[in-house]
Amino acid sequence: MADLKTQIEALGPAARDAARLLAVSGTAERNRLLLTLADLLEREQAAITAANGEDLARGRQAGLSAALLDRLELNPRRLAALTRGVREVAALADPLADADRVLKDWTRPNGLRLQKVRVPIGVIGLIYESRPNVTIDASVLCLKTGNAAILRGGKEAIHSNRALVDVIGQAAVSAGFPREVVSLVPVTDREAIPILCGMDRYIDLLIPRGGHGLVETVVEHARMPVLKHYNGICHVYVHADADFGMAERIIINAKCQRPGVCNAAETLLVDKAVARQFLPLMVKSLRAQKVRVLGDAAASESLGEQLPEPADWETEYLDLILAVSVVDGLSAAIDHIEKHGSHHTDTIVTNSESAAREFLRRVDSSAVFWNASTRFNDGGEFGFGAEIGISTDKLHARGPMALEELTSYKYIGRGNGQIRG
């Protein structure tokens, strides 16, 4: 344990030094690193897929599910997509470029000129689970924005991650940066997480991406700021004035288009006034898409069929399951969302502008939509180019966390001898 601690803590000072160099580097230098990385991912394809093959073999031996093995796999097609993604990020506008970094520029009556300027955050710690593509995606976003990264990937992907971080290190060195701009926690022990959580001198921000247990461990132990990319208990509320056809299309999309992601809907709230008309059509349509429908007593009654009751209203099913509750008007819908939601994404379907306005104003979630699918709460769909995840926190970054959200700021003041009176 002492050895483990020493080994992990040694990553801190090296990452900090690398971050200091990144912080004064230019857009072109950082993009060169990214483009070199893209080239190397192509050149080293055989080594990477071989390392990934070892993870897959061990995973099969350990009896991982087919779904988990699929998440783990890094075949040539996926590697090519990953490489394309790296080149796309390199081509994105740099929030630290001279044209964009000055956020505010003003001069005080005493002549002191002040600027608020964008700077990198510093060292970002990323704790994630099985998918090795996160190793590249997350590193690339950190590097683009001048941040060093310390990664703690899942134990199932350790060989893949080692190979990928090795390639990142080669790209860094060849672009004139230290290898330690990205480092990988060399061990897969669960104890690594509390150790990282204590390194607040060297890690400026921790981002946990994963299930409840992982996020809980980080929240429990972290001494530094944490941005949680937590679960999405997302709601679609069908208001009394909804267009039923539109409501149906939005609900099917929000639930079925990709049920395993955080901005998929888990709960349908139907206004009491229209439940009897709407629910039979909607449930039929959901079942045609193989969705299992759960519901409260009022939903069963409106439907004229006994639905299984959900165990609670706070489960992220990540599957073709939808819980339906009948609510008595707009305020009851908002109260349900406040009580059971995760402040991620919620949608109202209505033709009433006043109802929509009230919903948009009162619902306290990272994205609140009127007549659109919950699935739009996404960096790509917002036009941000890329995202490291959807923050369910309210400070610093809320919703899609893209390049700008990976930066901080500082104040610069230029005087000619000003002192305070």
End-to-end CA distance of the chain: 55
| Paired sense of beta strands 113-120 and 321-327, if any | unpaired
By the 8 A CB rule, do 191 and 6 touch?
A: no
* 340 counts as binding its own copies under rule CB under 8 A: no
Pick from 35, 68, 92, 119: which binds its own copies (CB under 8 A)? 119
* 399 makes contact with its own copies (CB under 8 A): yes
Q: Which residues have C-beta within 8 Å of that of residue 230, sequence separation ≥ 6?
A: 215, 262, 342, 344, 392
Helix, strand or coil for residue 153? coil
- 369-398 residues near its own copies, rule: CB under 8 A: 369-373, 375-377, 381-383, 393-396, 398
Cα 67 to Cα 81: distance, rounded to the nearest angstrom: 20
249 is a site residue for its own copies (CB under 8 A): yes
The conformation of residue 180, written as its DSSP 8-state character, comes to G
Among 85-93, 152-160, 216-224, 278-286, which window interacts with its own copies (CB under 8 A)?
Answer: 216-224
Smallest gap, in angstroms, from Cβ of residue 67 to its own copies?
A: 22
The single residue among 1, 66, 312, 416 that binds its own copies, judged by CB under 8 A, is 416
CB of 337 to its own copies, least distance (A): 12
Q: Strand pairing partners for 292?
A: 321
Categorise residue 65: left if φ over 0, alpha if ψ from -120 to 50, beta otherwise.
Answer: beta
Instruction: Give the E-state strand segments of 70-169 in sequence order.
Output: 102-107, 113-120, 123-127, 148-152
- With binding defined as CB under 8 A, does residue 352 bind its own copies? no
CB-wise, 63 or 290, nearer to its own copies? Answer: 290
Which residue has 């956020």 as its token pair? 103
CB of 419 to its own copies, least distance (A): 4
- 82 - beta bridge partners? none
CB nearer to its own copies: pick between 289 and 408 = 408
Q: Is 232 in the site for its own copies (CB under 8 A)?
A: no
Please give the residue ranges that form the binding site for its own copies (CB under 8 A): 20, 23-24, 106, 108, 112, 114, 119, 121-122, 200, 204-205, 219-220, 223, 225-227, 243, 246, 249-250, 252-254, 257, 338, 356, 360-362, 364-373, 375-377, 381-383, 393-396, 398-399, 408-420
